[in-house]
């Protein structure tokens, strides 16, 4: 029992973590995003202002506050280092003992050959010479049958000893001169350093041999002695190739020291700037020499500071990114709470920010002499945020992305401004998307945004025309890449993060969707009711700035569950018979309420987005099915058993919920009630329609069904006005002809009124 307090504390902590796990996940996502972007920021130096060759220095005179060396251009310096490494001497150590050892072995070989061949008799000549060959092979030399016959012929002619002498002389000349342990083509410089003991000598490689040249030299020497007798030449070359041993061995350590010395001989600096010396003057054009001084000054400032990877600089980068991300987060938390409530949407935003940041980092790291920074696809991020959310999120996100990109590119104001202008214009081109190809309309506006910014900054800085033209060319490439990237990523990100865009909703709004076609076939009355409801919901959503496309699509699919039992709903009953007449009120209410669960199942079967499926249960909320509840009460009152009234549970006659969670779902709930109520008016005048609308809205408010959706009283006023305008247009007074008057005199249908469900 002593462990009970500890266990209680542990369970309490776990419960707390479960309650706050959403907040913890969001904080973790924010920290990860800030860390990833902060890593991409430049280290070791801070470019406070932009400068490039040919631009005009618009600041005040820059005076050196301390002395510093002028560092050479990094590309030039790296090129000279490579050239120095190629031209550095390769150091070889001479191994004279190897030459003497191999020559001794050659002499011993020919002595053994003489001995073996001298012992052969005519009887032995006619037999196979495999045993003789085996004796020679035991000394380490492999002799083929053809070579063995050649050696026998030379011995018979008394020339075998002379062949051995010529071969020994040729090998001795090669190995004493110097036989390299590698091909000459691997030695770039035409000279090598040969070390013998403590003495080094520079020798041209033309005076030395590699293995291929050594074998050829032996061939030539033997060929001069024996003429065109190719057999003797081949045997000599074969023996030479097997007994050649390098006498010049590359020394890795000495060669490394030689390369380091060559590197040290390459000058890193071009001079010094003394303290109080003018680095560049105001209105002076920046020359290559001036740029080297500016670069060196920035490097010297960084070297005098705490260091490139100092904790203080890393902390500064983190705070820099955190400020930008926090401003965007505050905006979302105050004005776009549904986005903050969804981890999928927050993850999507983080992915877009990190993606564009990564492109900016690559543009900075690419070592090319071109303004590739203008290829950073800020407009693509702007359009993606607009397509997935709305134009306000897109614009605020553009500001955030532009500043992040500017920071990653070295706090470069010009790129940040260009990205901001082009991204903002691209936002307005996709704010009212009707189809996916409309994305490409933004190409011209992106070009316009970049062009205006580049020209403005170019004129301001007196930049030469070729520089401005080059920047415009890269900006035009960005204008082509961004729409294509947006189009491709939209499809990919919709699937990855399961976020529905207006483009997807517009595709669902087409009447050829299989589920809508099935609804029109199985439940035509419900289908036409959904179309009328869509017009009401769309008008109401437009009046308060809600997502009218989502409201319209939600209305189309809100009652698809009625496909399962269509004739149990009054709008689909064609005759006077009502299927509920023979059912108990409780059973009827179960059937009516079941269409919600069945609709959700159908929506998932047909892969409807969750945003659309949510309309199915929420448009009814937890409302009571009054018709059957009142019928149950009436039957209980007519019964002699008074306990039956107490047995009626009101919860059994309510929809399962949940209540509307969004403005669009709240609008659909109101529209559903209003449309059903107005259809019951015998002579729908504008005043009667307005009264019915007001009554429905008031009852929904009083019952608490709208408590969980963010509709305000101002929104409800606008929604009622929108409903009135649409319904008055539908039920406007018409001229009555005599035939219609006679039809009016006929008795109405006996079909009882029921809720539309």
DSSP 69-127: EEEPPHHHHHHHHHHHHHHSPEEEEE-HHHHHHHHHHHHHHHHHHHHHHHT--HHHHTS
Q: What integer is the mean pLDDT of 219-237?
A: 71
Task: Using only the alpha carbons of the chain, give its radius of gyration.
Answer: 46
pLDDT for the residue numbered 28: 92
For residue 729, tell me if it sits in a domain: yes
Q: What integer is the mean pLDDT of 98-123?
A: 71
Same domain, 532 and 584: yes
pLDDT for the residue numbered 127: 44
> Which domain range does residue 656 map to?
510-745
- For 338-367, how does the pLDDT look when each residue is reduced to its tens digit (9 = 90+)? 899 889 999 999 999 999 999 999 998 887
Q: What integer is the mean pLDDT of 686-705?
A: 93
Same domain, 139 and 165: yes
Residue 481: give its domain's CATH number.
1.10.1760.20
- For 39-84, how does the pLDDT look when each residue is reduced to its tens digit (9 = 90+)? 998 775 444 566 778 777 766 677 887 888 888 888 888 888 888 8
26 exposure class (CB count in 10 Å sphere: 0-12, 13-18, 19+): middle
* CB contact set of 117 (below 8 Å; sequence gap of 6+): 132, 151, 152, 155, 160
- Domain boundary (499, 523, 544) is at 499
pLDDT for the residue numbered 417: 94
Band of pLDDT at residue 253, cut at 50, 70 and 90 = confident
pLDDT for the residue numbered 640: 65
- For 604-625, how does the pLDDT look when each residue is reduced to its tens digit (9 = 90+)? 999 999 899 999 999 999 999 8
- For 433-484, how does the pLDDT look when each residue is reduced to its tens digit (9 = 90+)? 666 667 778 889 999 999 999 999 988 877 889 889 999 999 999 999 999 9
Q: What percent of the chain has pLDDT over 90?
A: 35
Q: How far is CA 306 from the centre of its chain?
A: 34
Residue 560: give its domain's CATH number.
1.10.3210
Same domain, 211 and 338: no
CB atoms within 10 A of CB 517: 12
Q: How far is CA 535 from the centre of its chain?
A: 40
Using the predicted structure, report yes or no on whether residue 554 has a pLDDT greater than 90. yes
Among candidates 32, 36, 19, 26, which has minimal Cα distance to 332? 26
- Domain boundary (465, 499, 533) is at 499
Q: How far apart are CA 151 and CA 235, in angstroms?
A: 8
pLDDT for the residue numbered 333: 93
For residue 10, tell me if it sits in a domain: no
pLDDT for the residue numbered 399: 96
For the chain, the domain total comes to 4
Q: What integer is the mean pLDDT of 636-657?
A: 77
The mean pLDDT value of the chain amounts to 82
CA 7 to each of CA 2, 20, 379, 537: distance values in angstroms, whole numbers, following the listed order: 10, 20, 54, 53
Q: How far apart are CA 688 and CA 707, in angstroms?
A: 27
Q: What integer is the mean pLDDT of 521-538?
A: 93
Band of pLDDT at residue 86, cut at 50, 70 and 90 = confident
Using the predicted structure, report yes or no on whether residue 329 has a pLDDT greater than 70. yes
pLDDT for the residue numbered 749: 42
pLDDT for the residue numbered 365: 84
Q: What integer is the mean pLDDT of 657-662?
A: 92
Q: What integer is the mean pLDDT of 546-564?
A: 93
Residue with more model confidence, 751 or 693: 693
CA triple 428-430-434, angle to 5 deg: 135
- For 188-212, how does the pLDDT look when each residue is reduced to its tens digit (9 = 90+)? 788 888 888 778 888 888 888 888 8
Same domain, 516 and 430: no
Q: Which residues on adjacent β-strands are paired with residue 624? A: 654
Same domain, 604 and 477: no
pLDDT for the residue numbered 618: 95
For residue 209, tell me if it sits in a domain: yes
Same domain, 338 and 441: yes
Same domain, 252 and 393: no
For residue 14, tell me if it sits in a domain: no
Task: Give the DSSP H or E segment for 349.
Answer: helix 343-365
**pTM of this structure:** 0.62
Same domain, 94 and 64: no
pLDDT for the residue numbered 297: 85
pLDDT for the residue numbered 473: 95
CA 345 to each of CA 383, 402, 628: distance values in angstroms, whole numbers, following the listed order: 15, 20, 42
pLDDT for the residue numbered 722: 95
Among candidates 331, 356, 465, which has minimal Cα distance to 408? 356
Using the predicted structure, report yes or no on whether residue 427 has a pLDDT greater than 80. yes
- Domain boundary (456, 473, 499) is at 499
Using the predicted structure, report yes or no on whether residue 1 has a pLDDT greater than 50. no
For residue 159, tell me if it sits in a domain: yes
Q: How far apart are CA 307 and CA 303, in angstroms?
A: 6
Same domain, 475 and 560: no
Band of pLDDT at residue 148, cut at 50, 70 and 90 = confident
pLDDT for the residue numbered 570: 84
Helix and strand totals (H; E) in the chain? 33, 8
Same domain, 328 and 466: yes
* CB contact set of 350 (below 8 Å; sequence gap of 6+): 29, 30, 32, 33
Using the predicted structure, report yes or no on whether residue 378 has a pLDDT greater than 70. yes
> Could you tell me the two tokens for 552?
């319209």
Residue with more model confidence, 170 or 742: 170
For residue 546, tell me if it sits in a domain: yes
Using the predicted structure, report yes or no on whether residue 130 has a pLDDT greater than 50. no
For residue 243, tell me if it sits in a domain: yes
Residue with more model confidence, 548 or 311: 548
Using the predicted structure, report yes or no on whether residue 756 has a pLDDT greater than 70. no
For residue 754, tell me if it sits in a domain: no
Q: Which residues on adjacent β-strands are paired with residue 194? A: 92, 201
Band of pLDDT at residue 9, cut at 50, 70 and 90 = low
Using the predicted structure, report yes or no on whether residue 566 has a pLDDT greater than 70. yes
Same domain, 59 and 103: no
pLDDT for the residue numbered 643: 59
Using the predicted structure, report yes or no on whether residue 124 has a pLDDT greater than 50. no
Give the ranges where 366-464 is alpha helix by DSSP (H).
378-388, 391-408, 413-429, 442-461
Same domain, 354 and 460: yes
């Amino acid at each position: 029992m002593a462990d009970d307090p500890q266990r209680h504390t542990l369970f309490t902590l776990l419960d707390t973590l479960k309650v706050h796990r959403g907040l913890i996940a969001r904080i973790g996502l924010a920290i990860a995003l800030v860390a990833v972007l902060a890593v991409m920021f430049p280290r070791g130096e801070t470019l406070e202002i932009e400068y490039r060759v040919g631009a005009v220095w618009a600041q005040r005179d820059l005076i050196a506050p301390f002395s510093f060396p002028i560092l050479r251009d990094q590309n030039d310096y790296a090129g000279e280092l490579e050239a120095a490494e190629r031209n550095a001497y390769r150091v070889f150590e001479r191994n004279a003992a190897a030459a003497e050892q191999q020559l001794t072995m050659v002499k011993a070989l020919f002595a053994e050959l003489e001995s073996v061949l001298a012992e052969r008799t005519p009887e032995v000549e006619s037999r196979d010479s495999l045993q003789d060959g085996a004796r020679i092979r035991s000394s380490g030399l492999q002799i083929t049958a053809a070579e063995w016959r050649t050696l026998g012929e030379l011995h018979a002619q008394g020339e075998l000893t002379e062949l051995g002498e010529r071969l020994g002389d040729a090998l001795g000349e090669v190995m004493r001169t110097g036989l390299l342990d590698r091909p000459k083509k691997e030695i770039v410089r035409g000279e090598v350093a040969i070390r013998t003991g403590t003495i080094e000598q520079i020798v041209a490689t033309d005076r030395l041999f590699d293995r291929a040249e050594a074998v050829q030299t032996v061939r030539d020497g033997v060929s001069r002695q024996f003429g065109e007798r190719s057999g003797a030449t081949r045997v000599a070359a074969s023996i030479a190739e097997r007994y050649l041993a390098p006498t010049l061995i590359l020394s890795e350590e000495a060669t490394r020291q030689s390369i380091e010395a060559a590197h040290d001989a390459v000058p890193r600096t071009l001079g010094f700037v003394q303290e109080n010396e003018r680095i560049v003057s105001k209105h002076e054009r920046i020359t290559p020499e001036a740029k080297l001084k500016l670069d060196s000054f920035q490097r010297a400032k960084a070297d005098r500071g705490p260091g490139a990877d100092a904790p203080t600089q890393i902390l500064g980068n983190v705070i820099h990114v955190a400020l930008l991300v926090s401003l965007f987060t505050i905006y979302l938390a105050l004005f776009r709470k549904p986005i903050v409530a969804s981890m999928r949407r927050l993850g999507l935003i983080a992915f877009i920010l990190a993606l564009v940041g990564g492109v900016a980092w690559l543009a900075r790291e690419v070592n090319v002499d071109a303004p590739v920074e203008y290829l950073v696809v800020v407009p693509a991020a702007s359009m993606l945020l607009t397509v997935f959310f709305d134009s306000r999120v897109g614009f605020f996100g553009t500001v955030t992305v532009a500043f992040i990109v500017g920071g990653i590119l070295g706090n470069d104001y010009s790129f940040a401004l260009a990205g901001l202008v082009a991204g903002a214009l691209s936002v307005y081109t996709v704010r009212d998307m009707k189809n996916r190809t409309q994305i490409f309309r933004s190409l011209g506006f992106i070009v316009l945004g970049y062009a205006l910014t580049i020209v403005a900054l170019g004129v301001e800085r007196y930049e030469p025309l070729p520089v401005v033209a080059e920047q415009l060319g890269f900006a035009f490439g960005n204008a082509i890449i961004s729409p294509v990237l947006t189009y491709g990523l939209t499809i990919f990100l919709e699937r990855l993060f399961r976020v529905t865009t207006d483009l997807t909703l517009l595709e669902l709004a087409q009447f050829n969707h299989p589920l809508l076609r099935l609804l029109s076939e199985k439940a035509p009355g419900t289908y036409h009711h959904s179309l009328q409801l869509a017009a009401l919901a769309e008008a109401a959503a437009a009046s308060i700035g809600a997502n009218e496309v989502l409201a319209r699509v939600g209305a189309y699919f809100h009652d698809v569950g009625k496909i399962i039992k269509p004739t149990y709903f009054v709008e689909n009953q064609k005759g006077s018979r009502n299927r509920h007449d023979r059912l108990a009120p409780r059973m009827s209410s179960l059937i009516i309420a079941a269409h919600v669960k069945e609709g959700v199942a159908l929506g998932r079967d047909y892969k409807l987005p969750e945003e659309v499926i949510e309309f199915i249960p929420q448009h009814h909320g937890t409302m009571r099915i009054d018709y059957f509840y009142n019928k149950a009460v009436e039957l209980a009152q007519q019964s002699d058993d008074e306990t039956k009234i107490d047995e009626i549970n009101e919860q059994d006659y309510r929809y399962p919920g949940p209540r509307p969670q969004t403005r669009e779902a709240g609008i659909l709930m109101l529209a559903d009630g209003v449309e059903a109520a107005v259809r019951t008016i015998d002579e729908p005048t504008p005043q009667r329609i307005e009264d019915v609308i007001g009554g429905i809205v008031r009852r929904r408010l009083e019952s608490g069904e709208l408590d969980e959706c963010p509709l305000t009283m101002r929104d409800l006023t606008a929604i009622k006005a929108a409903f009135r305008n649409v319904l008055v247009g539908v039920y406007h007074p018409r001229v009555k002809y005599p035939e219609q008057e006679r039809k009016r005199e006929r008795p109405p249908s006996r079909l009882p009124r029921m809720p539309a469900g």
